[in-house]
Amino acid sequence: MAWGSRERDRLYTRGDEMRASRDLRPLPLNEVLPLGSKPSLLIITMSEGQWDETLSAAYEQGWVLLELDENEQPVRAFKRAIPETSETPWSDS
């Protein structure tokens, strides 16, 4: 089933509401670009105004959300601050 503009607008409006209810931490684009310059970054792209469960889960896990405009040019980036810990997941303590 093809999505009409009404369904798409409703999805993006809901996404704006969901995203507005969170505080997304901006990340300077020069810390993300050029793509591939920092292989340790996990990046997921999104349209302007898009927000859904997949983006939310990626953000919570520390992925970079890279927002692209209608010409697929990066306009903003967001990344959740993850507290540094001295423990590793595989330590016995």
Q: What is the pLDDT of residues 3-53, one digit of tens each?
A: 455 544 554 455 555 555 467 999 999 999 998 888 889 999 999 889 899
Residue 47 maps to a domain: yes
In which domain, by residue range, is 59 found? Answer: 24-79
Residue 87 maps to a domain: no
pLDDT at residue 81, as a whole number: 85
Residue 15 maps to a domain: no
Gap between the Cα atoms of 63 and 12, Å rounded: 21
CA contacts within 13 A on the Cβ side of 5: 0
The structural domain count of the chain equals: 1
Residue located via tokens 């990046």: 43
Residue closest to 56 by CA, chosen among 26, 93, 18: 18
pLDDT at residue 47, as a whole number: 94
Residue 36 maps to a domain: yes
Gap between the Cα atoms of 34 and 24, Å rounded: 22
Residue 14 maps to a domain: no
pLDDT at residue 1, as a whole number: 41
pLDDT at residue 35, as a whole number: 87
